[in-house]
Structure 1
Amino acid sequence: MKQTYFIGLDIGTTSTKAIVFTPSGAVRGVGNVDYPLLVPQPSWAEQDPETIFAAVISALKTAIEKADVDKRAIGGIGFSTAMHSLIAVDHQGSPLTHSIIWADNRSTSQVDQLKQDGVGHSIYLATGTPIHPMSPLPKIMWLREQAPDTFRKAAKFISIKEYVIHRLFGQYVVDYSIASATGLFHLRKLDWDENALQVAGITRQQLSEPVPTTHILRGMKIRYAEEIGLDVDTPFVVGASDGVLANLGIGAIDHGQVAITIGTSGAVRTVVPEPITDPKGRTFCYLLTENHWVIGGPSNNGGIMLRWFRDEFSWPEVEKAKQMGVDPYDVMIEAAEHVPAGAEGLLFLPFLSGERAPYWNAQARGSFFGIGLHHKREHFIRAVLEGILFSVYSIGIALRDLAGGATEIRASGGFARSRQWRQIMSDMFGYEVLIPESHESSSYGAALLAMHALGALNDLHDVKNMIHISHRHEPNLERSSTYLQLFYIYERVYYNLLEEYKLISEFQKQLNK
């Protein structure tokens, strides 16, 4: 029987990656294209839609060429995309703006207004998208108030995935998953929310048609099919967001399975059978399929915190790594391993970029707390490792309140390459931590969803039998007790500094004027 291959196409924040998979998950070919982040003003974060579209074409073409498979053997392609992007386009589909991405904070005042009015919380409860500058809802409000000419000219407000699909197929469709991350989509009605539309000042005609994540697109424009090396009838499955597909890609879709990802940033997610929002507004709720809803929260402060400390303060470890010909992070983490759990009373609150879940506080700032004369650089390294995990743990607490305790934790991302860091996670959470072999969870999740939509995978729950676990870590209960005590202090420090965060944030803004 002829082998069939499936492609996972992941349009991320820093690059687009296309991976050709066999149905069992083996990688046959990879195409990866990087692109820049544009910061035209402080707190703005944008990307050029045309640059990303070109990256999609190039990544697909490269992956297929490297896989060296007949184009007729490509059974389907699934989309994965970063959430919360917004592009205003005119009646011809040409961009009137760059793609305003999740990291953009220009709409802070619109968020503040939504929260003060009280309407923001009701929109969150209906849509599952926290009221935060990352969300397309306040971004549209900002365009209406600060760029009225662009707002009036806009025929559609779309995400980067919708832009790519429109270029490839000439259709404006958005999957329920990406729609559920806009702040404009009613979770239970699976349709645009009238209240949110009114607040944004737009009509449903200015948004794409919502479709299930398993929706199949055919009839790609011939010139793009030829450029990539595909048949025009190759089916594309509209797919979902990168976050929910990461759960699928590591096999964390059963009740009680928690997925933790720590790369540059971090996230904690678990799957529930129906939409759940948090009365305290701590978590998101996004759709994977109509029977699988992903609740969780993102943290701004993942591995980027360790990179910051490496670049600014860890030059001895960097020099030692150069002499040994190894990764500086390995030397840093090895030094931290000799420090007891809890860094002998040194805490790091890693809010250098503000924080999203569970606090949703863009004004939060980072701090070391508890510094004593006995603390050395290795203590600070250990505190940074633990502080990143404390921020993730705080999201896990919110999920426990909403969905019950975890049965297992599956972890992925760059941090998972470190045995020591994985063990700290197990100790802190008090659960066994499993590390799936695949490091391309969103791309693989996109390919798996495409297989399911096209009939090559009957039940999504079969995925867990396809994922190989490469490492397991059991918690040390004594260290778990230490972390429990310190987390209580960590949260007290955060809440006691709320007014100070606001004051120092305002002071820092004045410096940037």
Structure 2
Amino acid sequence: MIGVDLGTTSTKAVLFDDRNQVVASANKGYQLYRDIPDMAEEDLNEIFEALIDALSDVVRQANLSEGNKISAVSFSSAMHSLIAFDKNWQPLTRVITWADTRAVKYTEELKRTGLGQEIYQKTGTPIHPMAPLSKLLWLKTEHEDVYNQAAHYLGIKEYLFHRLFGVNKMDISLASGTGLFNIFNLDWDEQALSVTGLQKAQLPMTVEPYAYETNMAAEYAAVIGIPADTPFVYGAGDGPLSNLGVNAIQPGVAAITIGTSGAIRVVADHPVIDPKGRTFTYALDKEHWVVGGPVNNGGDVFRWARDNMFDAEKSTAALLGTDAYDLMTQIAARVPAGSEGLIFHPYLGGERAPIWDANARGSFFGLNHGHTRAHMLRSVLEGITFNVYMVSLALEEVVGDLKSIQATGGFARSPLWRQMFADIFEQPVTVPEAFESGALAAVIVAQKALGQIDNLNEIEKYIGSANTYQPMPENFQAYRELAPIFIRLSRQLQTEYENIANYQRKHSK
């Protein structure tokens, strides 16, 4: 089987054998267009070509001529994307991704009127520019020509299925992240439709993650190199599948993912709503509901530090054929826990949980003559971690105490960062061996869809060995003192985020 991970900047296809061991993988990148401030779009054709290229690549590696067969292809997909199409299915927009924040004005209006909270209570999607709900209000007001022509609205995975199979369907996992879907009656929400001015007919039919399509268009089946009747399973959103992929679907077991962005999530057996609107509730399937908070600022902030403060290490790593991030973490490790009183708020790209403020901006606090770029680097890593910890405090108010943490994503490859999470959370952090957790989870969904397994808990057999990092008491004191300062500061700075963001928009080139 092939598990496909549709990401924000690349699509990865991972080939698993019948024992769920990775046989081959292919990763095809594409550009995230940021032509103007707050924009974050993708090109439809670039993503479609990346999918076809990645699938054909791993199929070539599968040696189908030796009697092997691709029994299914299944999907994990980035959430919250929106594409408008006219009545002839011609695209009117590029893919407007979760990272696009041009709808911030309409988000704030929704919050002020109280309508936002009413809709959140039924949809489980926090009121934020990431959500298609807000994007539609932005289109309706600022791009009336597009809005008036639009006969269909899809996300990226729905577009790919439409192009391959001619269908118009969306799994309930991705639907639950639109802000338009009632997670209690499992249908498009009437109030959300009324606010955006949409008709149900403009949105896809919703299906279970276990639904699948066959009879692919012959031209694409031929290019990929598989029979046209190969089942393509819808799968689910990348957040819910990340929990499944690290076997964090039992109550109280949290999954922390830090990739470009990040999240902390736990699974409940029913939708759970935060009265304060800080957490999301998305479906994995009808029996598993993922409650958590996403952060905009994860590995991309580490990358920003690399590109802007560590040019020498970047060049050295290129010459030596090593990873610049490894050199950087060695530098950060020389600085004691707490960065000697330097605090970094990592809000370079606005922020979702826990403050849900697209105007948020990053800052160093406490900088003095004794601080070096090594301190700044460590405080960047600590700031990202403190922010996820702040989300966890809100999450515990909603779902109860966290019992353990499973970690995945790019940060899980850094021993320093893993230890930092254990120390700040004062909890053991376990890192499963399987790094392709999203693709593996998609394959587990496909196996259930095809009747090969009865229960998602089967994934436990395939996680592999794990490393567990225990909290180090010698670091507790620094983090216990700094965490409250980090949290209080984030609240105090919120009073000025809108002002500085507006200044930046006004004066940006």
Q: TM class by shorter-chain length? A: over 0.9
Structure 2 residue 51 is matched with structure 1 residue 56: yes
1:24–1:256 distance in 2 versus 1, CA, 3 Å: farther
The structural deviation recorded for 1:299 is 1.0
2:461 paired residue among 456, 461, 465: 465
Segment of structure 1 superposing worse, 377-386 or 323-332? 323-332
The structural deviation recorded for 1:360 is 0.6
- Percent of aligned pairs with the same amino acid: 46
Equivalent residue number for residue 63 of structure 2: 68
Two-structure CA RMSD over aligned residues (Å): 1.6
Query: 1:31, 1:311 → 2: CA distance?
Result: 26
Equivalent residue number for residue 275 of structure 1: 271
Equivalent residue number for residue 193 of structure 1: 189
Query: 1:268, 1:247 → 2: CA distance?
Result: 9
- The amino acid that maps onto 2:415 is R
Segment of structure 1 superposing worse, 10-19 or 182-191? 10-19
The structural deviation recorded for 1:460 is 0.5
Query: 1:120, 1:336 → 2: CA distance?
Result: 42
Query: 1:233, 1:320 → 2: CA distance?
Result: 50
SS in 1 for 2:92: coil
- The amino acid that maps onto 1:19 is V
Query: 1:196, 1:485 → 2: CA distance?
Result: 43
1:46 paired residue among 38, 41, 49: 41
The structural deviation recorded for 1:500 is 2.1
Structure 2 residue 382 is matched with structure 1 residue 386: yes
Structure 2 residue 33 is matched with structure 1 residue 34: no
2:5 paired residue among 6, 10, 28: 10
- The amino acid that maps onto 1:287 is A
Runs of 4+ residues deviating >6 angstroms: none
- The amino acid that maps onto 1:428 is I
1:33–1:477 distance in 2 versus 1, CA, 3 Å: same
The structural deviation recorded for 1:430 is 0.9
Equivalent residue number for residue 115 of structure 2: 119
Equivalent residue number for residue 225 of structure 1: 221
Query: 2:405, 2:255 → 1: CA distance?
Result: 6
- The amino acid that maps onto 2:406 is R
Query: 1:500, 1:257 → 2: CA distance?
Result: 36
Query: 2:19, 2:427 → 1: CA distance?
Result: 28
1:208 paired residue among 204, 208, 222: 204
SS in 2 for 1:497: helix
Query: 2:507, 2:458 → 1: CA distance?
Result: 54
Equivalent residue number for residue 492 of structure 1: 488
Query: 2:500, 2:257 → 1: CA distance?
Result: 30
Equivalent residue number for residue 505 of structure 2: 509
Structure 2 residue 333 is matched with structure 1 residue 359: no
Query: 1:164, 1:294 → 2: CA distance?
Result: 25
Trace 1:50-449 onto structure 2 (pairs within 5 A): 50-69=45-64, 73-315=69-311, 317-318=313-314, 321=317, 326-449=322-445
SS in 2 for 1:73: coil
Segment of structure 1 superposing worse, 279-288 or 220-229? 220-229
- When normalised by structure 1's length, the TM-score is 0.96
Residue by residue, what CA displacement relative to the aligned partner does 1:242-289 show, whole Å, maximum 9, x if unpaired? 111111111111111111111221111111111111111111110001
Structure 2 segments unaligned to the other structure (5+ residues): none
1:248–1:141 distance in 2 versus 1, CA, 3 Å: same
Equivalent pair of 2:173/2:209 in contact (CA under 8 Å):
yes
Query: 2:409, 2:444 → 1: CA distance?
Result: 19
SS in 1 for 2:350: coil
Equivalent pair of 1:348/1:367 in contact (CA under 8 Å):
yes
1:58–1:317 distance in 2 versus 1, CA, 3 Å: closer
SS in 2 for 1:75: coil
Query: 1:135, 1:66 → 2: CA distance?
Result: 38
SS in 2 for 1:386: helix
The structural deviation recorded for 1:316 is 5.0
- The amino acid that maps onto 1:415 is F
Equivalent residue number for residue 3 of structure 1: none
Residue by residue, what CA displacement relative to the aligned partner does 1:157-176 show, whole Å, maximum 9, x if unpaired? 11111111111111111000
Equivalent pair of 1:284/1:297 in contact (CA under 8 Å):
yes
Residue by residue, what CA displacement relative to the aligned partner does 1:290-327 show, whole Å, maximum 9, x if unpaired? 11001111111112222222222234544665676532
Equivalent pair of 1:354/1:364 in contact (CA under 8 Å):
yes
The structural deviation recorded for 1:373 is 2.4
- The amino acid that maps onto 1:47 is E
- The amino acid that maps onto 1:440 is E
Query: 1:39, 1:384 → 2: CA distance?
Result: 24
Query: 1:306, 1:283 → 2: CA distance?
Result: 25
Query: 2:430, 2:499 → 1: CA distance?
Result: 42
SS in 2 for 1:74: coil
1:406–1:141 distance in 2 versus 1, CA, 3 Å: same
1:233–1:318 distance in 2 versus 1, CA, 3 Å: closer
Query: 2:166, 2:210 → 1: CA distance?
Result: 19
SS in 2 for 1:59: helix
Query: 1:433, 1:98 → 2: CA distance?
Result: 39
Equivalent pair of 2:441/2:459 in contact (CA under 8 Å):
no
Equivalent pair of 2:279/2:394 in contact (CA under 8 Å):
yes
- The amino acid that maps onto 1:105 is T
Equivalent residue number for residue 17 of structure 2: 22
Structure 1 segments unaligned to the other structure (5+ residues): 1-5
- The amino acid that maps onto 1:269 is R
The structural deviation recorded for 1:399 is 1.4
Residue by residue, what CA displacement relative to the aligned partner does 1:175-223 show, whole Å, maximum 9, x if unpaired? 0001000000000100000000000101101100011111121222222
1:195–1:331 distance in 2 versus 1, CA, 3 Å: same
Equivalent pair of 1:181/1:286 in contact (CA under 8 Å):
yes
SS in 2 for 1:150: helix
- The amino acid that maps onto 1:372 is N
- The amino acid that maps onto 1:13 is T
Equivalent pair of 1:434/1:469 in contact (CA under 8 Å):
no
Residue by residue, what CA displacement relative to the aligned partner does 1:37-67 show, whole Å, maximum 9, x if unpaired? 2223221121121221122112111111112
Equivalent pair of 1:320/1:331 in contact (CA under 8 Å):
no
